[in-house]
Structure 1
Amino acid sequence: MDLFPGNTARGVKRATRINIRKNFFITTSLATLPFTCANAFDLRLNFIDEQQQSISGVVAEVAGRPVGAAPAEPAIMDQINRRFVPMIVLVQTGELVSFPNSDNVRHHVYSFSDIRQFSTPLYADEHVDPVMFDKPGVAVLGCNIHDSMVGYVYVSRWQDRAISDENGVMTFTELSEKPQTFSVWHPWLQTPENTLEIDLSAVADGVAFDVTLPVKSPDTQFGFRALVPEASR
């Protein structure tokens, strides 16, 4: 389930916990990853839905190590064929996001989300200043001209964070210690806050595993707007 055609970020108030020892959503795979040093290890996550299809755009965080200085260059969320591309951008607190317009029509990007409210001018291919996201959480974006356009900027305060690729694969490398839990987020998750907290206490070092998520595509719920959280519209 690839969210990003042509392309390969919310503080968690509530979460549904998953304990892998009860085998609710996680199935340990046979693959293992080598360690780079005695105290560091890698985790490989394979996100799939209940039909065994891969899920891109899943965001996972390992709490513990705060972010450092933000990158100088902004992250990019383009507008292509009247869609935000990629649909989900993962950034850290204090990072800039640029919204170029690669379409031959004008767009007007905005967000009413608690973590960042903004509205760009109506523009086509002219330059628009990037937007800084300095609070953790999820900003839901829209276009005032094209109501079907919805994008998400996930802003993390943790150094150890990642987003799954078009094959649903995510890798954490050289974690400083074994995490006991981490949280995952996806806009199509059928859970409170679109978030799940996953218990890693029973995961052996270096073991890769599949994570099955209860997601529902908005294509079956009257378009993208159907799954935008009400509080974020």
Structure 2
Amino acid sequence: MRCLLAVATVLILGAAPAHAGRVVIEVVDTNGRPVADAIVSLAPMPGTTSRGIAPATRFVDQKDETFLPYVTALHPGDSVIFRNSDNTRHHVYSFSDMVKFEYMLGPGESSPALLMNNPGNAAVGCNIHDQMLTYLYVTKDPEMATTDAQGRASIDGVNAGQYRAHAWHPQLRPGVTLPIQGVTVSEAAPATVRFNLALLPDPRGAMDREHIGY
């Protein structure tokens, strides 16, 4: 009986969740200005156990001839739905290496759920309104967050341990190596991650008045 109790105790302790902490993120450009829409993800180092990931469905809206949000962070196995909240048609498409699709969406219509299988990033446009642009970013890293207008984000409930933090933004120069830094997460105090990114100009243009009403 004592042996059984000892084994049960070991199993219970082994199944106990790791201590969790908070990661605070700040992203700025080379002039020190806050960078919105940067995706920062955390990859666990050997010996660190990350929490599980449940598949999720994300929505990308089309409002005032603008994709909202500008970037969408996803994991393999997640799905994305494009929703048209405008009073005009949109022809949503991507011919990227990661995923290829196109949907003609009338006012109030939504696309089928598009399953994301592979890591990478995809630019998505509208074949009617050329200024419209959004990006899908798919990563295997279990923890991720997108910065707000102040260039800040945070991730709560991260299992304690060692991680590599990666930063991605659609205006990084093509082919550039993604910035990486190490971070130690503990329950004692929030861990801080700060990236300084050199970005290209915003590619989104002004509203295309010529095609309003299509």
Which TM class, normalised by the smaller chain length?
0.7 to 0.9
- Of 116, 120, 137, the residue aligned with 2:120 is 137
Name 2:168's counterpart in structure 1: 185
What CA distance in whole angstroms lies between the structure 1 residues aligned with 2:193 and 2:76? 29
Q: How does 1:58-207 map to 2 (within 5 A)?
A: 58-64=38-44, 65=50, 68-71=53-56, 74-190=57-173, 192-193=175-176, 195-200=178-183, 206-207=190-191
Alignment identity in percent?
Answer: 28
- Of 194, 197, 214, the residue aligned with 2:198 is 214
Given the superposition, is the C-alpha separation of residues 172 and 87 from structure 1 closer, same or farther in structure 2, using an over 3 Å criterion? Answer: same
Given the superposition, is the C-alpha separation of residues 113 and 211 from structure 1 closer, same or farther in structure 2, using an over 3 Å criterion? Answer: same
- Is the contact made by 2:24 and 2:155 (CA closer than 8 Å) also made in structure 1? yes
Q: Name the SS of the counterpart of 1:224 in structure 2.
A: coil
What CA distance in whole angstroms lies between the structure 2 residues aligned with 1:207 and 1:69? 24
What CA distance in whole angstroms lies between the structure 2 residues aligned with 1:156 and 1:66? 15
What CA distance in whole angstroms lies between the structure 2 residues aligned with 1:38 and 1:114? 37
Shift of 1:216: 2.9
Structure 2 residue 30 is the aligned partner of structure 1 residue 50: yes
Gaps of 5+ in 2: 1-16, 45-49, 206-214
Q: Name the SS of the counterpart of 1:148 in structure 2.
A: coil
Segment drifting more, 47-56 vs 124-133: 124-133
Aligned AA (2:30): E
Aligned AA (1:79): Q
Residue by residue over 1:80-105, the C-alpha shift from the partner in whole angstroms, topping out at 9 and shown as x without a partner, is 12111111011221111111111111
Shift of 1:193: 4.4
What CA distance in whole angstroms lies between the structure 2 residues aligned with 1:182 and 1:111? 28
What CA distance in whole angstroms lies between the structure 2 residues aligned with 1:52 and 1:44? 17
Residue by residue over 1:170-200, the C-alpha shift from the partner in whole angstroms, topping out at 9 and shown as x without a partner, is 2122322333422110011236347222244
Given the superposition, is the C-alpha separation of residues 175 and 55 from structure 1 closer, same or farther in structure 2, using an over 3 Å criterion? Answer: same
TM-score w.r.t. the length of structure 1 is 0.68
Given the superposition, is the C-alpha separation of residues 134 and 208 from structure 1 closer, same or farther in structure 2, using an over 3 Å criterion? Answer: same
TM-score w.r.t. the length of structure 2 is 0.74
Larger radius of gyration: 2
- Is the contact made by 1:58 and 1:164 (CA closer than 8 Å) also made in structure 2? yes
Residue by residue over 1:2-23, the C-alpha shift from the partner in whole angstroms, topping out at 9 and shown as x without a partner, is xxxxxxxxxxxxxxxxxxxxxx
Q: Name the SS of the counterpart of 2:104 in structure 1.
A: coil
- Is the contact made by 1:66 and 1:157 (CA closer than 8 Å) also made in structure 2? no
- Is the contact made by 1:185 and 1:194 (CA closer than 8 Å) also made in structure 2? no
What CA distance in whole angstroms lies between the structure 1 residues aligned with 2:143 and 2:58? 17
Aligned AA (2:190): G
- Over the aligned positions, Cα root-mean-square deviation in angstroms equals 2.7
Q: Name the SS of the counterpart of 1:121 in structure 2.
A: strand
Gaps of 5+ in 1: 1-36, 226-233
